[in-house]
Amino acid sequence: MLLIVLIGYICALLVPVIAKALGRSHGYLIALVPLGVFVYLSTYFNRIVEGEVISRQYNWVPSLDVNFTFQLDGLSLFFGLLISFFGFLIFVYAAAYMKGYKESDKFFMYLLIFMASMLGLVMSSNLIALFIFWELTSFSSYLLIGFSHNAKTSRNAALQAFLVTASGGLALLAGFIILGEVTQTYELVEILSIHERVIDHPYYLAIVILILLGAFTKSAQFPFHFWLPNAMAAPTPVSAYLHSATMVKAGIYLIARFNPTLGGTEIWQFTLMIAGGITMLLGAILAIQHTDLKKILAYTTISALGILVLMLGAGTSLAIQSAMVFLLAHALYKGALFLITGNIDKQTGSRDVLELSGLYKFMPFTGVAAFLACFSMAGVLPFFGFIGKELIYEAALHATVQHIALLVAVIVSGVAFVAIAIEIGYGLFIQNISFSERNYKEAPVAMLVAPVTLAVLGLVFGLFAGVLVQPLLTQVSNVVGNEDLPLELHFWHGFNLVLMLSLLTLLLGTALFFVRKGIRKIPLHLDYLYNHGPTAWYDGLLQLIKRFARLQTSYFQNGYLRNYIAVIVAFFSFMLASVLWQFDLKIFPVANFDIDNVRFYEVIILAFTLVAVFVFFKTRSRLTSIVTMGVVGYAVAIIFIFFGAPDVAITQFLIETLTVVLFVLILHKLPPLRFYPLKSFQNGLYIIISIGFGLLMTSVLLLVTEHPMVSGLKAYFAENTYILGKGKNAVNVILVDFRALDTMGEISVLAIAAIGIVALLKLKLVKGKMK
């Protein structure tokens, strides 16, 4: 099974080679790949229909329980067949459609990558593998939407679609990680076997929310639906394949796949029903309002996705069955309609329903396909769409909760579908409004095969539903519902309530078609909605991010050292403040100033140092700065002697002298120091920060001395004062000398510094010479 997935990727890599060898017609050859996959998957058909589940595991990272586990059950096979069959038709169609485009080999490459990822997605039964394919579909969709990269709209749409779906994907990953931690496995089969534990777990809510976020972004559910209409900037075959038949159904697949594991709770049900319901109605209403054919189809697709989510949310076995049947029906007619739109667009150069009419005369084959597809969409007997709609109405009638509201909602969207179907089938092809000179040609054969096949299948499946689709869909529903229930598909159920409702829908839809122009004129304040709806949220979020980015950069990264240091100090203070919050509040210790023991010379040195530091701080003369700095250094050296460290003191003396000399030399080369008075407010602020920090430091130090620090050592110290102070200095020196490693380190540092300084100064000379 790995082979099915891999073959797509391998062929994708070969596409440029094939394209070079075959020239323009390479698309047809590549179409054999999905056909091969379809045939191969079909060989499993009988086994799967009998309820068998085939799984293969390829070890990947067993230590983390991440493996490529592939599983073929009813649901995966159904999607797999859908993907490969559509893939075949789309490739044939695209081979003709993309002829005029530059770099069409890349297009097929991306399309193959997408198809392989999609197949991997539906066959994976390891969560992490599933996520990986999930993100790959997002990424290949990004490449495909942006394919017409000259147009700014398509670039932006590509980025928008990717940001939305990939972010959702990351939420999905988080959900999977949590689920994995809860169940201690990433294998779906094992998770299914302990799903009660998941549902009772406190993290259940988080898991559901995160996983549904992934599904909703992918399947364009409200409020993430906005990327889908924009994604219509992609070439039409892409719209047909990704954004109506397969990729957007990945979210539905995910929900269906997880229904047995996570489903059956109120949270699950209501979230799905609410999101699905809103999406369904919103899509239906917006579809009526638009006149661009592709936009109309996009919104009806959103509406259809809403229906699917709604039905999965309703959760009864009838609802699940109806969702799966409708999924197939929708894929068939919507795919066909998109391709028909592609034909119209290609041949007439327009996609606006207001500009197009009477096309049947010029494009009879396209027209026939359109009629068939529209009948299916409208749900006319005996088309497959009719069966789907019947089942949905029935499921709504028998829903366990809110069945009246459900029924009304699905009928409303059904009415809209009928009106749009009439608009396309009748309005575009038969009705003849404008009489301006037109002469369009029928699309080439290759571009007719796919839409006609799909549309005809919509009729054939309707007529022979019991034989052709029933076996597989029974398995599919069983997998999703996690129970074995028979599914009976007939187009004729006798005169019953559902049939009446269907007829009512048709009538209302026809009525809606005739008043549609009036409805379009009704100011729905759509501009307001667009300005304040999810699209605006998305834009606003982007703006907010940019603004925040600018703000924080200008604050943290403004190029001034003092600001940087102030940020550090502020950060430290904040951290300390929050420790303070958590611990007791004793900050200022009582200092143990032992005045009696202070000797006269100590006082002098201390006072001297403090005065020098203060002068250093206040002075504006460069010489005074250097001198006072030297004084501080020497004073420190003297203090070292007090503490019995003569060797350190000597070093300090020497180095301090050296440093002072160095500073003098350098300052000699530079112009006089200029002093810039800070704004007094700023200055005050900085001084307060520093002094505060200094005080904190003092209190810390005093705490150290106050503390019974290493108290044992103090006793030891008292006994050995004299020896420690002077007597052992010889050992001291020897030991210092034998600290071999430190010395090596020090020598390295010094050597590096010397080399560097020489190099830097030499560099200056070289530069000087060049001048």
Partner 1 sequence: MPDVSQMQGLTNKLAEITASVSSFLPEISLAVSIIIILIYDLITHKRQRQYLLLFALVALLLTGYLTSLQWLSASRGAEEFLFNDMLVLDKASIFAKFVFLVAGILTILMSWPDRAHKPMLSIPGEQVILLVGLVLGTFLLCMSVNLLMVYLALELISLCSYILCTMNGDKPGSEAGLKFILFGAVSSAFMLYGMSLFYGFTGSLHINDPSFVAGLETIHWLPLTVAGLLVISGFLFKIAAFPFQVWAPDVYQGSPTPIVAFFSVAPKIAGLFILIRFTNAYSFVDLATYWQEILAAVAILSMTVGNFAAIRQKNAKRMLAYSSIAHGGFLLCGLVTFTDFGLSALLFYAAIYVLMNFAAFLIVMLLEGKTHSLEMDTFKGLGLKFPVLGVLTIVAMIALTGLPPTAGFTAKFLIFSSIWAAYASSAKPILLYLLIFGLFNTVISLAYYLKIPYLLFFKESAVTMVSDRKDYLKNILLVFLIIPIILLFFKSEWLLYIINSITFVFQKVHK
Partner 2 sequence: MIPIAHYLFLSAALFGIGLVIIITKKNAIVVLMGIELILNAANLNLIAFSQYDPTLIQGQSFALFVIIIAAAEAAVALAIILKVYHFYNTSVLHEVHNLGD
Rg (CA), the chain: 38
- Name the minimum Å distance from CB 636 to partner 1: 13
For residue 203, what are its two tokens? 């993290």
- Name the minimum Å distance from CB 339 to partner 2: 49
- Name the minimum Å distance from CB 153 to partner 2: 30
Q: Is 738 in the site for partner 1 (CB under 8 A)?
A: yes
Q: CB-wise, 138 or 322, nearer to partner 1?
A: 138
* E strand intervals along 65-197: 66-72
Alpha carbons 112 and 661: distance in angstroms, whole number: 73
673 binds, among partner 1, partner 2, none (CB under 5 to 8 A by kind): partner 2
Residues 6+ positions from 364 with CB-CB distance below 8 Å? 442
SS3 286: helix
Q: CB-wise, 39 or 570, nearer to partner 2?
A: 570
Piece in contact with partner 1 (CB under 8 A), picked from 27-35, 131-139, 250-258, 451-459: 131-139
- Name the minimum Å distance from CB 378 to partner 1: 39
Q: Is 426 in the site for partner 1 (CB under 8 A)?
A: no
Q: What angle do CA 404, 406, 412 make, to 5 degrees?
A: 105
The angle, 0 to 180 degrees and rounded to 10, between the axes of the packed helices 364-378 and 403-422 is 170
Residue 565, Cβ neighbours under 10 Å: how many? 13
Q: Is 707 in the site for partner 1 (CB under 8 A)?
A: yes
Piece in contact with partner 1 (CB under 8 A), picked from 307-315, 471-479, 488-496, 700-708: 700-708
Pairing of the two strands 54-61 and 66-72? antiparallel
633 binds, among partner 1, partner 2, none (CB under 5 to 8 A by kind): partner 2
Count Cβ atoms within 10 A of the Cβ of residue 271 and give its class: 0-12 exposed, 13-18 middle, 19 or more buried.
middle
- Name the minimum Å distance from CB 539 to partner 2: 24
Binding mask 571-610 for partner 1 (x = CB under 8 A): xx--xx-xxx-xx---x-----------------------
642 binds, among partner 2, partner 1, none (CB under 5 to 8 A by kind): partner 2
Note whether 425 and 344 are within 8 A (CB): no
The interface with partner 1 within residues 357-396 (CB under 8 A) comprises none
Compute, in degrees rounded to 10, the torsion defined by CA atoms 184, 185, 188, 193.
-50
Q: Which of 518, 671, 677, 708 binds partner 1 (CB under 8 A)?
A: 708
| 383: phi then psi, degrees, rounded to nearest 5 | -75, 160
Compute, in degrees rounded to 10, the torsion defined by CA atoms 146, 150, 151, 157.
20
594 binds, among partner 1, partner 2, none (CB under 5 to 8 A by kind): partner 2
As a whole number of Å, the end-to-end CA separation of the chain is: 70
**Residue found under tokens 């559902």:** 498
**Residue found under tokens 């327009």:** 350
Nearest to 416 by CA among 287, 244, 278: 287
205 binds, among partner 1, partner 2, none (CB under 5 to 8 A by kind): none
Q: Which of 549, 604, 666, 695 binds partner 1 (CB under 8 A)?
A: 549
Q: Which of 18, 53, 174, 368 binds partner 1 (CB under 8 A)?
A: 174
The interface with partner 1 within residues 711-730 (CB under 8 A) comprises 713, 728, 730
The interface with partner 1 within residues 1-60 (CB under 8 A) comprises 60
Note whether 450 and 93 are within 8 A (CB): yes
Q: Is 173 in the site for partner 1 (CB under 8 A)?
A: yes
Piece in contact with partner 1 (CB under 8 A), picked from 362-370, 530-538, 602-610, 745-753: 745-753
Q: CB-wise, 266 or 594, nearer to partner 2?
A: 594
CA dihedral for 230, 236, 242, 244, sign (positive or negative):
positive
Burial 626-652 (b: 16+ CB within 10 A, else e): bbbbbbbbbbbbbbbeeebbeebbeeb
346 binds, among partner 2, partner 1, none (CB under 5 to 8 A by kind): none
Q: Which of 149, 197, 438, 726 binds partner 1 (CB under 8 A)?
A: 149
- Name the minimum Å distance from CB 640 to partner 1: 14
Number of residues this chain uses to bind partner 1 (CB under 8 A)? 95
Q: Is 615 in the site for partner 1 (CB under 8 A)?
A: no
- Name the minimum Å distance from CB 486 to partner 1: 40
Supply the DSSP symbol for 383.
S
Compute, in degrees rounded to 10, the torsion defined by CA atoms 634, 635, 639, 645.
0
Q: Which of 73, 135, 394, 656 binds partner 1 (CB under 8 A)?
A: 135
Q: Is 472 in the site for partner 1 (CB under 8 A)?
A: no
Alpha carbons 509 and 420: distance in angstroms, whole number: 8
Q: Which of 61, 405, 433, 503 binds partner 1 (CB under 8 A)?
A: 61
Alpha carbons 130 and 176: distance in angstroms, whole number: 10
Per the rule left: phi > 0, alpha: psi between -120 and 50, beta: everything else, 363 is beta
545 binds, among partner 1, partner 2, none (CB under 5 to 8 A by kind): partner 1
| Bond prior to 223 in cis (omega within 30° of 0) | yes
Q: Is 710 in the site for partner 1 (CB under 8 A)?
A: yes
State the DSSP H helix or E strand holding residue 367, giving kind and residue range, or none if neither: helix 364-378
SS3 609: helix
Q: Which of 150, 436, 439, 597 binds partner 1 (CB under 8 A)?
A: 150
Piece in contact with partner 1 (CB under 8 A), picked from 162-170, 395-403, 511-519, 530-538: 162-170
576 binds, among partner 2, partner 1, none (CB under 5 to 8 A by kind): partner 1
What is the total residue count of the chain?
771
What is the tally of helices (H) and strands (E) in the chain? 36, 2
- Name the minimum Å distance from CB 564 to partner 1: 5
Piece in contact with partner 1 (CB under 8 A), picked from 219-227, 546-554, 613-621, 669-677: 546-554
Alpha carbons 198 and 259: distance in angstroms, whole number: 13
162 binds, among partner 1, partner 2, none (CB under 5 to 8 A by kind): partner 1
Binding mask 190-219 for partner 1 (x = CB under 8 A): ------------------------------
**Residue found under tokens 């494009």:** 363
